[in-house]
Amino acid sequence: MGFFDRLADRIDATDSVLSVGLDPDLNRLPDHLHDHDLPRWAFNRRIIDATHDHAACYKPNAAFYEDPDGWRALRETVAYAHGKDVPVLLDAKRADIGNTARQYATHLDAAGGTAADAITVNPYLGRDSIEPFLSQEAGVFVLCRTSNPGGGDLQDRELADGECLYERVARLADDWNERGNVGLVVGATAPEELEAVRDLVPDLPFLVPGVGAQGGDVEAAIEYGLADGVGLVNSSRGIIFAGEDRGEGFARAAGEAAKRLKRRLNEYR
C-alpha cells in the first residue's frame, strides 16, 4: 500500500490530520532525561506514549539527529512509532546530483537507514535530484512555499511568464507524481499562497508546517492543506515543549496540547 493510502487509513482511525513534530532540542529536554543513554529517544518515547492517539503522523526533523547518538535515537523512535501504527515523515529536505541522491535515499531503508515512511525534498536541483525518492513507495513532500520569514525571498519571485517560482514548483511536483506518492510543503504562515497552490494542484496532499510556535493560520491550513481529506498539519515545539516546567509532567502537557490542536483542526475539517 502506498504512503498516502496508509496515511488516509491513519487519518480515519484517529480522526486527526495532526503531524506531531519530534524535534528534541537537547537544550530543552527535561533535566531528568539527561541521565539516559539516549536522552532524545527517552524523550520521544514518552512523547509518543502521550500523543499517539491524536497523531496521524510523526515528523522528526533530521537536524535534531545528525550525530551518532542522534541516529540511534531516530531509529528507535521510528520503530516505536511504527509499533503504535503511526507513520513517520522524515523532514530532511534532501536532494543532490543522482549519485549522491541515491545515497540519501538509503536513509529511508529499513536496513541501515531510518525506515521512515516519507521524506521532505528540495526541488531546486530538478527532477533527477529527487528521482531516487520518487521511484520508491515512500511519500515525497516537495518544498513549495516554506513557512519561514524569508520563504518569499526566492519562492515568491515572478518568472518571465508571470508565474511565481513556488507555483512553478507546485506544477512540476504534480508532473513528478507518476506513482501517486508526491505531496507539497506549504507553510500556514502564507495563507494566500496556500490557497493559490491548492487551486493549481487540487489533488496533491500538503504537509502544512507553521501552526503553533510560528503563529500560522490554522483554518487556512485545513481549508487548503487537504486533498480529498488527506494531508498533514504539523506542530513541533507547540506540542513537545508545551510543558513549561521541564519536569516529569512534560509528556502529559504534550498529550493535552496534541489533543487540543487536533480538536481545533477538526473544527475546520
Ligand X SMILES: O=c1ccn([C@@H]2O[C@H](COP(=O)(O)O)[C@@H](O)[C@H]2O)c(=O)[nH]1
Q: Which positions lie near ligand X, rule CB under 6 A?
A: 21, 23, 61, 91, 146-147, 185, 187, 209-210, 212-214, 234-238
Closer to ligand X by Cβ: residue 14 or 234: 234
Closest by CA to 194, choosing from 182, 179, 210, is: 210
Cβ 111 to ligand X, closest distance in Å? 26
Cβ 221 to ligand X shortest distance, Å: 12
Catalytic residue among 59, 93, 259, 262: 93
Residue 91 vs 167, nearer CB to ligand X = 91
| 93 counts as catalytic | yes
Q: Which of helix, strand or coil describes residue 121? A: strand
Nearer to ligand X, 136 or 214 (CB): 214
Beta bridge partners, 139, equal 118
| Cβ-contact 199, 157 below 8 angstroms | no
**Beta-ladder partners of 89:** 118
Closest CB 91 distance from ligand X, rounded Å: 5
Closer residue to ligand X, CB minimum distance, 132 or 210: 210
CB of 52 to ligand X, least distance (A): 18
Residue 111 grid coordinates = 536496513
Q: Cα(62)–Cα(249) distance, rounded to whole angstroms? A: 26
* Grid cell locating 161: 511568464
Residue 60 in 3-state DSSP?
A: strand
Give the number of other Cβ atoms within 10 Å of residue 191's Cβ: 20
Query: Which residues form the catalytic set?
Result: 93
